[in-house]
Structure 1
Amino acid sequence: MTATLPATAYRAPSQYWTWRDQAIHYVVAGEPHPSRPPLLLVHGFGASTDHWHKNIRGLQADFEVWAIDLLGFGRSAKPNWDYSGSLWQAQLHEFIQEKIGRPTVLAGNSLGGYTSLCVAANHPESAAGLVLLNSAGPFSDSASDSAPAAKPNPVAKFIQSVMLQPLPSWLLFQYVRQPSVIRRTLNQVYVDKSAITDELVEDIRRPSCDPGAPQVFASVFKSRQGEKVDELLQKMACPLLMLWGEGDPWMNCRDKGAKFRQYYPALTEHYLQAGHCPHDEVPDQVNGLLRDWVIGLGA
């Protein structure tokens, strides 16, 4: 069982970068290595750079490690914009070009994984490698099972149409950001319950109190679906490491891993006894696998 880090664990100091007239929060630790690419850690939906503090601490001796808050999350600005994978893709690519200044290994969890995949596929000059941890993103119908497509669910369509309205969306946001609801959700997606600390709950709750946070939440129901995962993989050329928390109740990791192998057979993958956020739940395992893989790229 992984020991829970104390609340006083070191966290890299906050820094800010102005992108499209918006303040983007990031942290950086460690020193540049001429023979090793830097790392850029990208959080999932509702999380932030705080979710990577165990990994930053564990990897900074070997790499220059960056972590960033996507626009709309964490300590980054939360303007009333249309949020999408293409927006965050542009943010990451321009951050690498302007701030990091050299090809980078992107490591993303969930939504951050899909966004990092978009960068690796569409901006190869920014990506020295890609690490996906329980990555989000759909495959196209032709890449899915051969079973006929399910008929549209009228109840689901009705719920979505209701959630496009400001008041129901706002009310739902007020509910899901309660500490008790955050803790309940984490209990569903973490295998090791001891990793669910008051500090983790507060790290997720705090940004939800920022002005603009409800509008960011509502944009999930409005955003257009981006490129499919198989389309992105067919454009990508960089090395790929996949780390799966196999206890994730939100996805069948073995089935999804098989789809990734179908379109990118040269990938490396590991299945871990963890849930949706293996980097936070089993950080020592994730750090070790990521470290060995990245160092091996230069061998």
Structure 2
Amino acid sequence: MQATTAFSTNPIPGKYWQWRGHNVYYVQAGKPQPQRPPLLLVHGFGASTDHWRKNIAELCNDFEVWAIDLLGFGRSAKPKLEYGGNLWRDQLYDFITQVIGQKAVLAGNSLGGYASLCVAAQRSDAVPGLVLLNSAGPFSEKQPTAEPEALQAQIEPPQQQPEPLQKLLGDVAKWIFQQPLAQFLLFQYVRQKRIIRQTLEKVYLDKSAITDQLVEEIYRPACDRGAFDVFSSVFRTPQGEKVDILLKQLTCPLLLLWGEADPWMQARERSQKFRQYYPELTEHFLRAGHCPHDEVPDQVNSLLRDWVCSVVMS
């Protein structure tokens, strides 16, 4: 029988860093390793540093590990800004250079993967290696982008319609969700604990990983002042740089970890796109959903550790 690791459910104490006048929350574990780069873990939409607890607890035995709440999420401030790849790219880059103080391997899930890719591609001096776990972000052609679109799809399920009518309905739905009242009602709906749990049940393959604690960790920041402004900004703000453009700018080693049961990201199809623009990458497909680091942390931790030690440090 394969042994599994018992992971602590206790929150990891963190600190705050002032960035552009706003409080940014982060956690740090493990000691600096002279021969190994530190790791910086970046969560997805609606998540936080809490989502990496199972990874930090194990990886800190081999690396100095950092995790950060992107501005607008978790315990970080939620000011009224235009949220997008450029903002989070600058936040992560400044955190690496000002707080960590040396190059760091970035590992990001979903939206955090897209933000991490922006840093690695456009601020390459700070990132010796990049790990993407079911990474979001648009390609130049129409591709799955991020969880907000998936949430919209859950509320307005696709139906079999003639193509012109389907396009018209899609345009109407997009216009509706750009209206402030519709955004507010949608926000009130999706932040309910029962809806959070239902959403997780759709994107997690291992339902036992969906605990009351996980639901609470996603629900709590959604009640913070400014949370609605962050949510509505996702609909207002133009999409950032396309993933294929970023991949053409990327020069560091790239590891892709796919939870192949993810209904939001067509992993096998999306993988081909990444390989088309960055063929020298390494990738693994795991029996998991949208958040493989939380569902199969033992596998993710092992693959990440081995890759950093054999590829990034070689």
Greater Cα offset, 15-24 or 152-161:
152-161
Letter in 1 for 2:38: P
Matches within 5 A, 1:1-299: 9-141=9-141, 153-296=167-310, 297-299=312-314
**Deviation sequence 1:105-148 (CA, Å, 0-9, x none):** 0000000001100000000011010000000012113999xxxx
Distance (Å, rounded) in 1 between the aligned partners of 2:115 and 2:235: 17
Q: Percent identity?
A: 62
The TM-score, its normalising length taken from structure 2, stands at 0.89
Distance (Å, rounded) in 2 between the aligned partners of 1:26 and 1:19: 12
Distance (Å, rounded) in 2 between the aligned partners of 1:240 and 1:224: 26
Distance (Å, rounded) in 1 between the aligned partners of 2:80 and 2:227: 9
Distance (Å, rounded) in 2 between the aligned partners of 1:204 and 1:3: 25
Q: Describe the shift of the 1:4–1:288 C-alpha distance in structure 2 as closer, same or farther (beyond 3 A).
A: closer
Instruction: Indicate the residue corresponding to 2:150 in structure 1.
Output: none
Deviation, structure 1 residue 16: 0.4
Deviation, structure 1 residue 15: 0.5
Check whether the contact 1:2–1:282 (CA below 8 A) recurs between aligned residues. no
3-state SS of 2:279 partner: coil
Q: Describe the shift of the 1:260–1:185 C-alpha distance in structure 2 as closer, same or farther (beyond 3 A).
A: same
Distance (Å, rounded) in 1 between the aligned partners of 2:180 and 2:20: 26
Letter in 1 for 2:25: H
Check whether the contact 1:160–1:221 (CA below 8 A) recurs between aligned residues. no
Deviation, structure 1 residue 246: 0.4
Check whether the contact 1:111–1:136 (CA below 8 A) recurs between aligned residues. yes
Deviation, structure 1 residue 161: 2.1
Distance (Å, rounded) in 2 between the aligned partners of 1:143 and 1:169: 23
Q: Describe the shift of the 1:252–1:206 C-alpha distance in structure 2 as closer, same or farther (beyond 3 A).
A: same
Deviation, structure 1 residue 178: 0.7
Deviation, structure 1 residue 223: 1.2
Deviation, structure 1 residue 3: 6.5
Q: Describe the shift of the 1:298–1:213 C-alpha distance in structure 2 as closer, same or farther (beyond 3 A).
A: same
Distance (Å, rounded) in 2 between the aligned partners of 1:70 and 1:100: 16
Q: Describe the shift of the 1:143–1:23 C-alpha distance in structure 2 as closer, same or farther (beyond 3 A).
A: closer
Deviation, structure 1 residue 251: 1.6
Letter in 1 for 2:128: A
Check whether the contact 2:38–2:105 (CA below 8 A) recurs between aligned residues. yes
Q: Describe the shift of the 1:258–1:80 C-alpha distance in structure 2 as closer, same or farther (beyond 3 A).
A: same
Letter in 1 for 2:64: E
**Deviation sequence 1:219-254 (CA, Å, 0-9, x none):** 111111111111111111000000000000112111
Deviation, structure 1 residue 77: 0.3
Check whether the contact 1:107–1:131 (CA below 8 A) recurs between aligned residues. yes
Check whether the contact 1:2–1:281 (CA below 8 A) recurs between aligned residues. no
The answer for unaligned runs of 5 or more in structure 1 is 145-149
Q: Describe the shift of the 1:143–1:174 C-alpha distance in structure 2 as closer, same or farther (beyond 3 A).
A: closer
Check whether the contact 2:5–2:298 (CA below 8 A) recurs between aligned residues. no
Check whether the contact 1:143–1:259 (CA below 8 A) recurs between aligned residues. no
Check whether the contact 2:4–2:298 (CA below 8 A) recurs between aligned residues. no
Distance (Å, rounded) in 2 between the aligned partners of 1:179 and 1:11: 20
Instruction: Indicate the residue corresponding to 1:147 in structure 2.
Output: none
3-state SS of 2:285 partner: strand
- The alignment covers a number of residue pairs equal to 293
Letter in 2 for 1:15: K
Check whether the contact 2:111–2:136 (CA below 8 A) recurs between aligned residues. yes
3-state SS of 2:129 partner: strand
Q: Give the ranges of 4+ consecutive aligned residues of structure 1 lying more than 4 Å apart after TM superposition.
A: 1-6
Distance (Å, rounded) in 1 between the aligned partners of 2:97 and 2:3: 36
Aligned-residue Cα RMSD (Å) equals: 2.0
3-state SS of 2:249 partner: coil
**Deviation sequence 1:34-72 (CA, Å, 0-9, x none):** 111100000000100000000000100100000000000
The answer for unaligned runs of 5 or more in structure 2 is 145-162
Deviation, structure 1 residue 255: 1.0
